[in-house]
Each structure stands twice: as structure tokens, then as C-alpha cells.
Amino acid sequence: MRIDKFLKVSRIIKRRSVAKEIADKGRILINGRAAKSSTEVKPNDEVVIKFGNKTLTILVKELLDTTKKDDAERMYEITSEDYEHDFRNE
């Protein structure tokens, strides 16, 4: 499954066009390598997504073509969530 579709179906990013834009800017790594929006993702791949202040690292668990909200979290496991500056502690 393409990384842009995976991010949309898993509800990590709400729109596929936004996922494509983030990937094409080089802000997504799959197993340590820069990914384009068309890069294929498989179970057990490690995906690192760099949002503005936050870096999210996930492990792909399974691939589903469509999901309901409750099933989306079965597709991945969050391994780390880091912030450059954590505004929550102020």
C-alpha cells in the first residue's frame, strides 16, 4: 500500500493530498530512508513522520483498504512521539 493512502486510511493524516504533500517534501522516513508519496509500506515497517514541532514514530501492524474509526488504530503502533519544544509543560 502506498504511504499516502496508509496515512489517510489509518487516520494519522486526515487527507491523502496532505499526506502526499508531506511525503513529497521529505518529511516521512520509512525504515530510515526518505519516502515519496508512492513509496510502498508493509507490515513491520518503521515510519517516522515530521510534523511542525512533533516527530511521530510508528510501527506498521497491518494494512486495511478501508477502516471504521475504531479499526484504524489496529493498523499501527506508536513507538515514540517527540516534541522539539513541549508547550504542554508550560
pLDDT at 41 over 90: yes
Rg (CA), the chain: 13
The pTM of the full predicted model, rounded to 2 decimals, is 0.83
Q: Which of 5-14, 58-67, 78-87 has the lowest mean pLDDT?
A: 78-87
89 band by pLDDT with thresholds 50, 70 and 90: low
Quote the CA–CA distance of 34 and 23 in Å, as a whole number: 8
User: Which CATH architecture is the domain 3-83 placed in?
Assistant: Roll (3.10)
Residue labelled with grid coordinates 483498504: 65
1: which 3 cell numbers?
500500500
Mean pLDDT of the 39-50 span: 93
Nearest 10 degrees: CA dihedral of 85, 59, 71, 37? 80
Distances in Å between the Cα of 5 and the Cα atoms of 10, 13, 32, 37, 89 are: 8, 10, 20, 8, 34
Domain ranges of the chain: 3-83
